[in-house]
Amino acid sequence: SLDVSTLTRQSGLTALDYGFVNTAATKSSITYIDGDQGILRYRGYPIEQLAASSTYLEVAWLLIYGEMPTADQLGEFDEKIRRHTLLHEDLKHFFSALPHTAHPMAVISSALSALSTYYESAADPSDPEQVELTTIRLLAKLPVIAGYAHKKATGQAFLYPDNSLSFVDNFLRLNFGNMAEPYEIDPVLSKALDRLLILHADHEQNASTSTVRLVGSTGANLYASVSAGINALSGPLHGGANEAVLEMLGRIRDSGEGVSKFVERVKNKEEGVKLMGFGHRVYKNYDPRAKIVKESADEVLAQLGVSDPLLDLAKELEQIALEDDYFKERRLYPNVDFYTGVIYKAMGFPTRMFTVLFAIGRLPGWVAHWREMNEDPQTKIGRPQQLYTGSAARDLPQR
Ligand code: ACO
């Protein structure tokens, strides 16, 4: 590969690449994707194997530290995360200042910025010990913040974390438990959520991860960088797609227009009509994560005893789209977000929490990339070029 930055600097050329379709901004040893073949590997391990037989915390360790953890390493990591789940009591007042109608993505990104104010002197990017502590604090506290965002939206009391519970069980309790009665963990739900978090844990230089790296390249700390990543993730073309898919399915059902009619409108490129959850910048084949999610959707709904006509609608939509020339020619396949919403809904999460679940899943990836960027001696402040198309030099009119 060419080192374009050196080449273009020397030659005076500037490459114009809208959407960075063909420009690498970094080297990375974290995640490998082959979009033509539908391959995804974290640190060399196939996503299928990780989803089948590892846990989210193991994968978080793998992404951040490069190897699968030993039992001792995992135990220590888990223990440290459990010890850091509590939020400063004052931070609870922050939630009171927001309307209950606030989108939970806006709540968690701003809460994370607010969280950083408690650790200003302990988040120095150049101090490895502080980076380590911040890593743990983020992993421990984001799920609690997310649980509070959910409770805030539903008008229920916040719960303190229960550190006797595993990472995922603690998160489920914070979302679905209440003050009046003990919360019973459903192992099916817990396992399914753990697997979904694994599937979202990293995806190399996507928009939010690139945002985290870009912000981090300025010397900003991990809190600031991850908060920016959450905002990048919130858009409907990125993480927000899981929410948009369910809204789309609901609209198709409510309109009664039928799936084929809707697909026609997509193909006619009617304003604002896209097949959400389809297409990917990198995958020009079936997204391997979507394959796993699709298999889990049936399994999870059956085990939870839920039947959802939206899942049938999603399958019908997929079938019609996959057989249609418009989608074939453009190599558009379901992405990870196409079926996740149906599962999150069956678990009881409101639609507006879906992207928050994505953010919790993606957190280890963001942290791993920020740390890789921070440790790479070749890192420079990110600063894209532009081709100026405005006015030539001119003088203000005489006044
Ligand atoms: N529905 C209908 N047509 C589509 C879709 C779609 N979901 N996605 C792409 N196309 C069409 C485009 O209109 C374009 O057609 P044209 O050549 O006739 O103009 C062609 O396919 C190529 O699309 P691009 O927009 O150039 O593809 P790009 O790589 O820039 O975009 C993206 C990728 C943003 C994911 C796009 O496919 C999309 O908007 N999908 C829907 C939103 C979505 O599901 N996002 C989640 C992505 S995965 C994630 O973040 C976890």
Q: If you write DSSP's letter for every residue of 113-154 in order, what string do you get?
A: HHHHGGGGGG--TT-HHHHHHHHHHHHHHHHHHHHHHHHHHH
Q: Among 74-83, 147-156, 298-307, whose mean pLDDT is lowest?
A: 298-307
pLDDT digits (tens, 9 = 90+) for 120-136: 889 999 999 999 999 99
330 lines ligand 1 (CB under 6 A): yes
| Count of all residues that appear for the chain in the document | 399
Q: 11 falls in which pLDDT band (50, 70, 90)?
A: confident
169 lines ligand 1 (CB under 6 A): no
Question: What is the Cα–Cα distance from 262 to 252, expressed in whole angstroms?
Answer: 7
Check residue 61 and give its pLDDT. Answer: 98
Question: What is the Cα–Cα distance from 276 to 187, expressed in whole angstroms?
Answer: 30
Q: What are phi and psi of 46, to 5 degrees?
A: -60, 140
Q: Active-site residue 280, yes or no? A: yes
Residue 221 has pLDDT above 90, yes or no: yes
Q: What is the mean predicted confidence (pLDDT) over 224-235?
A: 98
281 lines ligand 1 (CB under 6 A): yes
Q: 13 falls in which pLDDT band (50, 70, 90)?
A: confident
336 lines ligand 1 (CB under 6 A): yes
Check residue 393 and give its pLDDT. Answer: 97
pLDDT over 90 for what percent of the chain? 85
Residues of the chain by 3-state class (helix, strand, coil), percent to 5: 60, 5, 40
pLDDT digits (tens, 9 = 90+) for 322-339: 999 999 999 999 999 999
Tell me which of 197, 237, 267 to substitute to probe ligand 1's pocket, judged by most ligand atoms within 8 Å of the beta carbon. 237
The SS3 call for residue 112 is: helix
C-alpha radius of gyration, the chain, whole number:
22
Check residue 5 and give its pLDDT. Answer: 66
Q: 4 falls in which pLDDT band (50, 70, 90)?
A: low
Check residue 3 and give its pLDDT. Answer: 67
Identify residue 5 by its one-letter amino acid code.
S
Q: Which listed residue (103, 150, 200, 280) is catalytic? A: 280
Residue position matching structure tokens 């959850």: 277
Q: Active-site residue 203, yes or no? A: no
| 43 close to 66: Cβ distance less than 8 angstroms | yes
Rounded mean pLDDT of the chain?
Answer: 94
Give residue 43's region: left, alpha or beta (phi > 0; psi -120 to 50). left
Residue 2 has pLDDT above 60, yes or no: no
pLDDT over 70 for what percent of the chain? 98
Q: 296 falls in which pLDDT band (50, 70, 90)?
A: confident
Q: Which atom of ligand 1 is nearest to the CA of 330?
A: 21
Q: In angstroms, how far is CA 115 from the centroid of its own chain?
A: 20
274 lines ligand 1 (CB under 6 A): yes
Task: List CB contacts of 67: < 8 A, sequence separation 6 or more.
Answer: 43
Q: In Å, what is the CA distance from 369 to each residue of 31, 64, 204, 205?
A: 10, 8, 8, 9
> Bigger pLDDT: 160 or 307?
160
How many separate helices (H) and strands (E) can be counted in the chain? 18, 3
Look up residue 253 and give its two tokens.
């059902």
Residue 37 has pLDDT above 90, yes or no: yes
Q: Which atom of ligand 1 is nearest to the CA of 19?
A: 30
Q: What is the mean predicted confidence (pLDDT) over 294-303?
A: 87
Residue 1 has pLDDT above 60, yes or no: no
| 318 close to 252: Cβ distance less than 8 angstroms | no
Give residue 95's region: left, alpha or beta (phi > 0; psi -120 to 50). alpha
Question: What is the Cα–Cα distance from 77 to 69, expressed in whole angstroms?
Answer: 9
Q: What is the mean predicted confidence (pLDDT) over 173-201?
A: 94
Q: What is the mean predicted confidence (pLDDT) over 104-125?
A: 95
Q: What is the mean predicted confidence (pLDDT) over 166-188?
A: 94
Q: What is the mean predicted confidence (pLDDT) over 250-272?
A: 93
**Is the dihedral angle over the CA atoms 366, 216, 371, 79 positive or is it negative?**
negative
Instruction: Give 279 Cα–ligand 1 centroid separation in angstroms.
Output: 5
Q: Which listed residue (194, 202, 287, 337) is catalytic? A: 337
Q: ipTM of this model?
A: 0.95
Look up residue 275 and give its two tokens.
């097949």
263 lines ligand 1 (CB under 6 A): no
Identify residue 231 by its one-letter amino acid code.
N
Q: 304 falls in which pLDDT band (50, 70, 90)?
A: confident
